[in-house]
Amino acid sequence: MEKYKVHETKDTSYDYEVKRKPENNNTLGVISLVTGILAIILYFCCIGLDFLLGIIALITGIIGHKEGQDYALAGMILGIVVLSLYLMLFLGIFALTGISTIFALF
């Protein structure tokens, strides 16, 4: 049997592709967070606009959270906080004005 010499060569021409994870588009998460923050700020001065911004923050937060976006959860929580503040405000107004007497007539 003959002995074969093995020559070590450094081959720099690799034949492979680098598969990169697609960049996470965080647009809905940022929109949710910004509208949630604006809704919290405007809650104390502009009634109505903050309710609309809270709904937008909640909806975009839910959609963005399903897509795995980073800031969507924070915006969704801020939207829930604003909407729950509105619920407490209206329940307090109804309790103070005696709205229960209107329901007693029916």
Share of the chain above pLDDT 90, in %: 42
Assigned domain for 11 exists: no
**Is residue 58 domain-resident?**
yes
* Domain assignment of residue 82, given as a range: 27-95
Query: Does residue 42 register a pLDDT over 60?
Result: yes
pLDDT surpassing 70 at residue 91: yes
pLDDT in the model for residue 15:
61
pTM for the whole structure = 0.68
Domain presence at residue 8: no
d(CA 26, CA 45): 30
The answer to whether residue 54 is domain-embedded is yes
pLDDT of amino acid 41: 92
Count: domains in the chain: 1
Find the helix packing angle between 72-97 and 49-66, rounded to 10°.
Answer: 140
pLDDT band (50, 70, 90) for residue 98:
confident
Asked, for residue 57, whether it belongs to a domain, the answer is yes
DSSP characters over 67-81: TT-STHHHHHHHHHH
* Distance between first and last Cα of the chain: 108
Query: For residue 64, what is the enclosing H or E element?
Result: helix 49-66
d(CA 7, CA 51): 75
